Amino acid sequence: MKDERVAPAWKPISGERQFRLLVQSVVDYAIFMLDPAGVVRSWNAGAARMKGYAADEIIGRHFSSFYTEEDRAAGMPQRALATALSEGKFEAEGWRLRKDGTRFWASVVIDPIHDETGVLRGFAKITRDITERRKAQQALDEAREALAQAQKMEAVGQLTGGVAHDFNNLLQAISSSLELIEQRLSAGRTDVAPFTVTARAAVDRAATLTRRLLAFARRQPLKPERTDLNALVVGLWDLLGRSVGEEIRLERRLAEPLWPVHADVNQIESALLNLVINARDAMPDGGCVTVETGNASLGAGDLVAEPGVEPGDYAVLTVRDSGTGMPPDVLARVFEPFFTTKPIGQGTGLGLSQLYGFARQSEGFVRIDSAVGRGTAVHLHLPRDHAAIASTGQTEPAAVPAPAPGRPGRGTVLVVEDEDLVRMLLVEVLESDGYTTLEAADGTAALARLAAAEGEAEAGKGPPIDLLVTDVGLPGLNGRQLAEAARARYPDLKVLFLTGYAFQALDGRPGDGEDGLGRNMRMLAKPVAVDAFRTMVRSILSDGPSDGPSGG
C-alpha cells in the first residue's frame, strides 16, 4: 500500500528565533557575543567545537582566555576591542588557545554592535580555524623558494664551462707572471712591473667573476637600492658573453642618459642573465641577442593591460633575440609558474614567472613581444627613481685615509686563518706596519690564545689583544661562532671578518654597526688588497679605545 503520509507543513518562526537557529547551526565558525568589557555572553556550536568549551564553561569569562600568554601580556585583546570600536572592525590572524591548551591559527573578525540610539551594546566575534590552510601555504611557499633557488642554480650551471675556461686563463696569466718575475729577479733584473700589473689585473678579474657567481647563488630578500641599469649591463657583460657561447652574437644598445631606478640589483642581474640564456636557447642555429635600455613615459592609456601599475616614468631593460619566437598559445602562458617549453630536466619553468613577480614587487611590469619566426623581446619596466641621493639618506662612504708610510701601528692583533699561506701574508703585513701579532689556525686555538693573552695581561707580562682578524669559513668553529664566543667573554673586542663568500656567511645577523654586523665589527671580502686591509685595520683600531680581553 502506498505511503500517503505528508510532511508536516513548515511553520514560520520569528526572525529572532530564526537568527538564533542559524547561528547555533554553524559548526565551522565560532560565532559569539561579547559585552562592552569583552566578557563572553553567547556561544554557538562552532565555538564549542573549535575551542573545546561548553557554553556554561565560558559564558561570563573574558575573551582574552583564548589568547596566548605572550599576546595577553602585550595587551592584544584590549587593542583588538579598541580598534574595532575606533575603526568599525578589527580583523587579524594569529595563534589562539583551545581549552586543552593547544594552539591553532585563527582568522578573527570583531565588529562593534550599537543599538538604535548609538549606544555600544557589545561586540560580535567570528573566529575560523585556518591552521591547515596556513600549513598548506607555508609548504607551497617553501616549495616555490626551493624551485626558485633551483632556477638560480640552473643559470649558474649554464655558466660552468665558460667560467672554468676563463679561470684557467687567469691562472695561466698569474702563473706565467710569477715565473717571469722569479727569473728576472734571479738574474739581478728589477724590471718586473709589467708582470706585477698583469698578475694584479688577472686577480681582479677572477675576484669579480667569483663575486658575480656568489651573488647569483645566494638566497636573500629583496634589497632595493638606487641603480643605474647601464652600469649594471656593462658590469655583467663578460659574464653574459660567456653564457651565450661562440655561435651567438651579443650586442648592446644603451640609452644615454638613462633614468635611475630603485630596485634589487641582484634580482635584476639574475633576471638579465636568465633572459639572455633563454634567448640563446631560442636560437639553436645561432643568431643575435641584443640587450637594450631606454626611457619610457607611460600614461594611463598605455597601461590598460597592466592593472595596478601606476602611470609615470620608467626605465626599460630589454633582451631581444632573433630566434624561433613563440606562438600565441605559448605567449599567453609564459608567466605561469612551472610552465616551460624546454625538455624535462632542462628548465624549471620559473624564470619568467619569477621575473614577473619581481617586477610587480618593484612596482614595475614585464611585457613580451613575440611571433613565430620573428624572435622575442622581453621588456622589463622599472619605475624611475626621482629621489636624489641626499633625500634618500644615502651618502657616499667617507674615505678612510691610507696609513702614513713609516708610521708604526699600535696594538695587538690575533690572526685566525686556516690557510697557512694566507695567514703568513696577513701577519707579514701587520708586523711590517708595527703591530704585535698572534696566530691561530682554527677557532678552538684562537679561543685558547685569547684566554692566554688575558692571563698574561692581568699578570703584567703582555698586552691584551685589541683586534681579532678571522676568516669566516674556518673548519669546526667558524669565524662567526668564534667571534660570538670571544665577545661573550670580551665584549669590547674588535673584530674584522675576512670571507670568500661575499657577505652570505653573516646574512641575517642583526646588528647596529657598519654593514649590520654589530658594534666594533667590520668585514672585508676576499681577495682583499693589501692596502685595503691595512686601511681597515688602522680604521678599526683608531675608532675608539678597546679594552681587549681584559675588558670582559
What pLDDT, on a 0 to 100 scale, did the predictor assign at position 348? 34
Is 15-129 assigned to CATH 3.30.70.1450? no
93-133 tens-digit pLDDT: 999 999 999 999 999 999 999 988 889 999 999 999 999 88
30-56 tens-digit pLDDT: 999 999 999 999 898 889 989 999 999
CA distance 287 to 279: 9
**Amino acid at position 388, single letter:** A
474-489 tens-digit pLDDT: 888 888 899 999 988 8
C-alpha cell of residue 87: 575603526
In sequence order, what are the residues at sequence separation of 6 or more whose Cβ sits closer than 8 angstroms to the Cβ of residue 399? none
pTM assigned to the model? 0.42
C-alpha cell of residue 223: 634589497
What pLDDT, on a 0 to 100 scale, did the predictor assign at position 400? 40
Instruction: Indicate the pLDDT class of residue 202, thresholds 50, 70 and 90.
Output: confident
Helix axes 193-217, 265-281, angle to 10 degrees: 90
18-35 tens-digit pLDDT: 556 666 667 788 999 999
What pLDDT, on a 0 to 100 scale, did the predictor assign at position 404? 43
Q: What are phi and psi of 275, to 5 degrees?
A: -65, -40
Please say whether the beta carbons of 353 and 336 come within 8 A: yes
What pLDDT, on a 0 to 100 scale, did the predictor assign at position 514? 40
**Amino acid at position 337, single letter:** P
H helical segments located in 301-419 = 328-331, 351-361
50-89 tens-digit pLDDT: 999 999 999 999 999 999 999 999 999 999 999 999 999 9
Higher pLDDT, 419 or 252: 252
For the ranges 157-166, 350-359, 492-501, the lowest mean pLDDT is seen at: 157-166
C-alpha cell of residue 14: 520569528
Higher pLDDT, 449 or 346: 449
For the ranges 16-30, 225-239, 412-426, 458-472, the lowest mean pLDDT is seen at: 16-30
419-447 tens-digit pLDDT: 887 888 888 889 988 999 999 999 999 99
Residue 258 clears pLDDT 90, i.e. is over it: yes
Residue 394 clears pLDDT 90, i.e. is over it: no
Q: Express as a percent the part of the chain with pLDDT over 70.
A: 75
Mean pLDDT confidence for 502-530: 61
Q: Closest Cα to residue 46, out of 61, 62, 32, 67? A: 32
CA distance 245 to 284: 11
Q: What is the mean pLDDT of the chain?
A: 79
Instruction: Indicate the pLDDT class of residue 300, thresholds 50, 70 and 90.
Output: confident
Please say whether the beta carbons of 414 and 467 come within 8 A: yes
C-alpha cell of residue 50: 573549535
Higher pLDDT, 303 or 535: 535
Which CATH architecture best describes the domain 412-551? Answer: 3-Layer(aba) Sandwich (3.40)
C-alpha cell of residue 209: 667573476
Which CATH architecture best describes the domain 226-396? Answer: 2-Layer Sandwich (3.30)
What pLDDT, on a 0 to 100 scale, did the predictor assign at position 124? 92
Higher pLDDT, 376 or 457: 376
What pLDDT, on a 0 to 100 scale, did the predictor assign at position 103? 92
What pLDDT, on a 0 to 100 scale, did the predictor assign at position 19? 55
DSSP symbols for 472-514 = SS-SSS-HHHHHHHHHHH-TT-EEEEEESSTTGGGTT---SSG
Instruction: Indicate the pLDDT class of residue 289, thresholds 50, 70 and 90.
Output: very high
Mean pLDDT confidence for 280-297: 90
What pLDDT, on a 0 to 100 scale, did the predictor assign at position 444? 92
